[in-house]
Amino acid sequence: MTIVKLMIIIIGIILLLVMGYQIILYLRSGIYPPKRVVKERIFLSGGVGLSFFIIGIFIIIFGK
């Protein structure tokens, strides 16, 4: 069970790092990939990453 808890937190951290990379792509000038697509990726990876991270923290705190 400890491995599952750790994996949930690691997946959350990885998705938050992906969100950071997508923000860098969004701020860079250029036309590919389209900013609309990058913005959708930012919200998706950030939302899911934050959710996984928070769920992992709650499982560690309250799961015994």
Say how many domains are in the chain. Answer: 1
Structure tokens at 6: 């750790």
User: What would the pLDDT profile of 5-61 be if each residue is shown by its tens digit?
Assistant: 899 999 999 999 999 999 998 998 887 888 899 999 999 999 999 999 999 999 989
Question: The whole model's pTM is what?
Answer: 0.83
Q: Which are the contacts of 59, defined by CB distance < 8 A and separation ≥ 6?
A: 5, 8
In the DSSP assignment, the letter for residue 1 is -
Q: How many CB atoms lie within 10 A of CB 49?
A: 20
Which residue range is the domain that position 10 belongs to? 2-62
Q: What's the confidence (pLDDT) of residue 29?
A: 82
Q: What is the pLDDT of residue 28?
A: 87
Residue 41: the pLDDT is: 94
